[in-house]
Amino acid sequence: MTLLRDRDLAHAFDHASRTYDRLTGLNPGYRADLLRSARRLRLPGDGAGLHLLDLGCGTGASTRALLRAAPRARITAVDASAGMLRRALAKPWPDSVRFLHLSAEELTTAGE
């Protein structure tokens, strides 16, 4: 068995990003499950005053679920795949959402 290095995994997701939204759209319940999980957080006041981290945000489906569950929160969405982030950034987002191209390990040193 060969383990993928972080950059290899990010590259694999870069490649998959072209069809990722279509693939997840074909999965019955995928987006509903994300929204249900976000709502289970039971964030008070629609997220007012909160800053949420969406680590491994991909094309933004989980970010959208967090935004729907907590529309007044600030959300920082992070992914190591540039391709996934390009797809996410091509969608409309409010000013309260920002995206960062970082790995989880890099995030700890980015001052977030």
> How far from 84 is each of 40, 55, 76, 110, CA to CA, in Å?
26, 13, 15, 20
Q: Determine the pLDDT at residue 6.
A: 63
Chunked mean pLDDT (size 10), the chain, 112 residues:
61 76 85 95 96 95 97 97 95 98 78 48
The pair of structure tokens assigned to 7 is 């950059």
Domain ranges (residues) in the chain: 6-107
Q: Indicate the fold that domain 6-107 takes in CATH.
A: Rossmann fold (3.40.50)
Q: Determine the pLDDT at residue 3.
A: 47
Q: Determine the pLDDT at residue 92.
A: 98
pTM above 0.75, yes or no: yes
Q: Determine the pLDDT at residue 9.
A: 75
Which of 9, 33, 1 is CA-nearest to residue 84? 9
Predicted confidence (pLDDT) per residue in 25-55, tens digit: 888 899 999 999 999 999 999 999 999 999 9
